[in-house]
């Protein structure tokens, strides 16, 4: 450590909110260069490389073949799949000196498809799995939490190419199993959840989420084994109801009811005078009887104009923008601004109802619970007025449904078994069955045994290698610092010479380190001329799993061993220490 390119910090960096970010910076693993752009210092690079190697070993074990594409890519392949446009502001675009368009690759489906098309032609060539471990570039809207969400980040991306749907399912299954092995080796606590397929297109898709309070993804799970990212939860729609016999819709003057809560109170207080409604005399109105219409605007990829979009959800639920975005991808979605309301005076804020929306040609999507025959209390498009008993299929017909309402703990599980619980996670891996989307874009065919072309079907599988460094740190740290699992720690053993300059202790530390290295362990030796307190604090901060203290006891032939994870301290004899420590590390 006296010569290691490392300076630890006592203070948390000002821009850091989550533990992994604070600790990785404080412990000198990474340094920020620009928002979402980080350098790896020696310790950080060691951890990154160890994780990368675990990922590589598991990919090789399922027959993956490693290749490497450039990160600097021409526009044309991404134009062929429309992703040059669909990615919108999320890709880094650049021009060469001749004015040619380039991008920094955000993901490489196009290039892999073209590579296979370039080399392979016969059905005998398939199946094949190719992968790379390479920096990706995405101009993330909110780079966050250090390396958790970078704008440059290391990803393992692999792609499977199969002749048949069954073949694709098998390739997918192999990746799934490989991911399970990788994440177990990394000592992570993770869940596999159903996912949406996002900008990739395609069908079957699952995410691996490292459980963590600080994760950006919310997932739900039910007692019957159902687990999904909330973006992928499909709301079980109740059965349609008969329209006949429902009371007629009636507009009521509902003064001072700008919020759902005030509206519900008003309705319940004035229920008798409001006349009979389908709520029935035996129960009260609740927020779930109201239909809240939220105004958004959307823009299709490549378009310049925004279009209005209204979303109707039961009034007891908020609109979850991430779910809306996932549902409307690849379109961009934004909340309406004051100027949009001003430009559309038929939108009476707080009292927007289906009538004004549909009279004015606003696209109107509703929550799946808003089925034919259900009656709602909603805005009457006039200040202080609401309409009661507005029946779907009789009084208004939405343009379709959208999964927009928040998913909550306690909601019924879509598999019909029990209710959902919610937790947060960090997306560390994602596996997709792409199907033939990319093969179609590039006409990737194999010549079959009958000499007829067979369209290839693909899968795409990503692991956030650099994000994993942070994900492991999120799950494995304490107040004093990082606590690495052995499989990824930058060193096996941290030897602390517990003195500023005592020559015997320095010699003792150096000879122990040499013996440990001879026993095959990697060692970091704190031979700095610093006080023991500083050295102990740094040992805790760096997070190497086994700490050996060479201190006063050495004169009596003992060393102190500290387990970083449990805090347990034991005295061991100096004699045979290297073998004993090696046994602990390997166990």
Instruction: Note the residues at the interface with ligand ATP (CB under 6 A).
Output: 107, 138, 140, 149-150, 153, 155, 198, 427-430, 462, 464, 466-467
d(CA 569, CA 549): 10
Q: What DSSP string runs through 181-250? A: HHHHHTT--EEEEE---GGG--S-EEEEEEE-TT-SEEEEE-TTS-EEEGGGPPPPPPPP---TTPPPPE
For residue 429, the partner it binds in ligand ATP, Mg ion, none, with Cβ less than 5 to 8 A by kind, is ligand ATP
* Residue number with CB closer to ligand ATP (200 or 585): 200
Do the beta carbons of residue 154 and residue 180 sit within 8 Å? no
For residue 107, the partner it binds in Mg ion, ligand ATP, none, with Cβ less than 5 to 8 A by kind, is ligand ATP
Do the beta carbons of residue 10 and residue 466 sit within 8 Å? no
Do the beta carbons of residue 149 and residue 143 sit within 8 Å? yes
Cα 103 versus chain centre, distance: 23
Do the beta carbons of residue 100 and residue 94 sit within 8 Å? no
* Residue number with CB closer to Mg ion (149 or 430): 430
For residue 428, the partner it binds in Mg ion, ligand ATP, none, with Cβ less than 5 to 8 A by kind, is ligand ATP
Minimum separation from the CB atom of position 179 to ligand ATP (A):
10
**577-586 and 503-518 helices cross at what angle (nearest 10)?**
50
Give residue for tokens 């004699």: 575
* Residue number with CB closer to ligand ATP (464 or 481): 464
Minimum separation from the CB atom of position 430 to Mg ion (A):
4
Minimum separation from the CB atom of position 83 to ligand ATP (A):
12
18 phi, psi to nearest 5 deg:
-100, 155
* Residue number with CB closer to Mg ion (81 or 558): 81
Could you tell me the two tokens for 78?
A: 């991404």
In this structure, the number of other CB atoms found within 10 A of the CB of residue 586 comes to 11
Minimum separation from the CB atom of position 467 to Mg ion (A):
11
Query: Which positions ≥6 away from 263 have C-beta within 8 Å?
Result: 254, 257, 290, 315, 377, 386
Minimum separation from the CB atom of position 134 to ligand ATP (A):
11
Minimum separation from the CB atom of position 451 to ligand ATP (A):
37
* Residue number with CB closer to Mg ion (232 or 505): 232
Coil, helix or strand at residue 174:
helix
For residue 477, the partner it binds in ligand ATP, Mg ion, none, with Cβ less than 5 to 8 A by kind, is none
Do the beta carbons of residue 293 and residue 354 sit within 8 Å? yes
Query: Which positions ≥6 away from 265 have C-beta within 8 Å?
Result: none
Does position 430 interact with Mg ion (CB under 5 A)? The reply is yes
Minimum separation from the CB atom of position 429 to ligand ATP (A):
5
Does position 136 interact with Mg ion (CB under 5 A)? The reply is no
Minimum separation from the CB atom of position 217 to Mg ion (A):
9
* x-marked contacts with Mg ion along 353-372 as a string, rule CB under 5 A: --------------------
In this structure, the number of other CB atoms found within 10 A of the CB of residue 238 comes to 12
d(CA 480, CA 533): 13
Segment lying near Mg ion (by CB under 5 A), choices 141-149, 425-433, 463-471, 560-568: 425-433
Q: Which residue is nearest to Mg ion (CB)?
A: 430
* Residue number with CB closer to Mg ion (199 or 250): 199
Q: Which residue is nearest to ligand ATP (CB)?
A: 464
For residue 414, the partner it binds in ligand ATP, Mg ion, none, with Cβ less than 5 to 8 A by kind, is none
Cα 373 versus chain centre, distance: 38
* Residue number with CB closer to ligand ATP (106 or 481): 106
* Residue number with CB closer to Mg ion (90 or 487): 90
Give residue for tokens 């759902």: 260
* Residue number with CB closer to Mg ion (162 or 207): 207
d(CA 207, CA 192): 6
Minimum separation from the CB atom of position 115 to Mg ion (A):
22
For residue 149, the partner it binds in ligand ATP, Mg ion, none, with Cβ less than 5 to 8 A by kind, is ligand ATP
Name the site residues for Mg ion (rule: CB under 5 A).
430
């Amino acid at each position: 450590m006296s010569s290691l390119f490392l300076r630890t910090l006592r203070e948390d960096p000002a821009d850091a909110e989550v533990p992994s970010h604070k600790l990785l910076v404080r412990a000198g693993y990474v340094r920020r260069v620009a928002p979402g752009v980080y350098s790896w210092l020696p310790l950080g690079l060691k951890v990154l490389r160890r994780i990368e190697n675990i990922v590589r070993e598991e990919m090789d074990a399922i027959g993956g073949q490693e290749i490497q594409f450039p990160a600097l890519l021409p526009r044309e392949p991404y134009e062929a799949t429309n992703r040059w446009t669909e990615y919108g502001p999320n890709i880094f675009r650049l021009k060469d000196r001749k004015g040619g368009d380039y991008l920094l690759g955000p993901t490489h489906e196009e290039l892999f498809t073209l590579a296979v098309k370039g080399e392979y032609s016969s059905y005998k060539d398939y199946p094949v799995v190719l992968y790379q471990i390479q920096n990706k570039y995405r101009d993330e809207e909110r780079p966050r939490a250090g390396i958790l969400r970078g704008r440059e980040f290391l990803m393992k991306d692999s792609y499977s190419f199969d002749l048949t749907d069954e073949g694709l399912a098998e390739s997918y299954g192999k990746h799934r199993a490989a991911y399970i092995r990788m994440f177990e080796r990394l000592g992570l606590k993770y869940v596999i959840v159903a996912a949406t397929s996002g900008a990739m297109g395609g069908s079957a898709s699952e995410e691996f989420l490292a459980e963590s309070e600080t994760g950006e993804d919310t997932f739900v799970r039910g007692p019957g084994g159902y687990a999904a990212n909330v973006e992928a939860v499909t709301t079980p729609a109740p059965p349609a109801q008969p329209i006949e016999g429902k009371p007629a819709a009636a507009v009521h003057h509902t003064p001072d009811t700008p919020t759902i809560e005030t509206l519900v109170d008003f309705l319940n207080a004035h229920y008798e005078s409001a006349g009979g409604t389908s709520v029935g005399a035996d129960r009260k109105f609740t927020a779930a009887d109201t239909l809240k219409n939220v105004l958004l605007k959307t823009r299709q990829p490549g378009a310049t104009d925004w279009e209005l979009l209204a979303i109707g959800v039961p009034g007891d639920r908020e609109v979850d923008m991430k779910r809306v975005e996932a549902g409307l991808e690849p379109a961009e979605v934004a909340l309406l601004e004051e100027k949009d309301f001003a430009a559309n005076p038929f939108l009476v804020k707080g009292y927007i109802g289906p009538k004004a929306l549909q009279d004015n040609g606003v696209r109107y999507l509703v929550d799946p619970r808003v089925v034919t025959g259900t009656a709602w209390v909603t805005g009457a498009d006039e200040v202080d007025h609401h309409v009661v008993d507005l029946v779907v299929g009789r009084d208004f017909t939405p343009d379709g449904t959208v999964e927009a309402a928040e998913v909550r703990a306690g909601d019924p599980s879509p598999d019909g078994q029990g209710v959902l619980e919610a937790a947060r996670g960090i997306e560390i891996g994602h596996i997709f069955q792409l199907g033939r989307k990319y093969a179609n874009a590039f006409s990737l065919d194999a010549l079959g045994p009958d000499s007829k072309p067979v369209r290839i079907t693909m899968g795409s599988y990503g692991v956030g290698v650099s994000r994993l460094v942070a994900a492991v740190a999120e799950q494995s740290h304490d107040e004093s610092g990082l606590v690495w699992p052995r499989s990824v720690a930058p060193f096996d053993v941290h030897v602390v010479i517990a003195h500023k300059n005592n020559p015997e202790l320095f010699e003792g530390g150096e000879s122990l380190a040499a013996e440990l290295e001879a026993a095959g362990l990697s060692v970091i030796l704190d031979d700095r001329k610093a006080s023991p307190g500083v050295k102990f604090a740094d040992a805790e901060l760096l997070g190497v799993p086994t700490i050996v203290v060479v201190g006063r006891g050495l004169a009596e032939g003992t060393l102190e061993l500290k387990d970083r994870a449990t805090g347990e301290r034991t005295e061991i004899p100096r004699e045979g220490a290297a073998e004993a420590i090696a046994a602990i590390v390997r166990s």
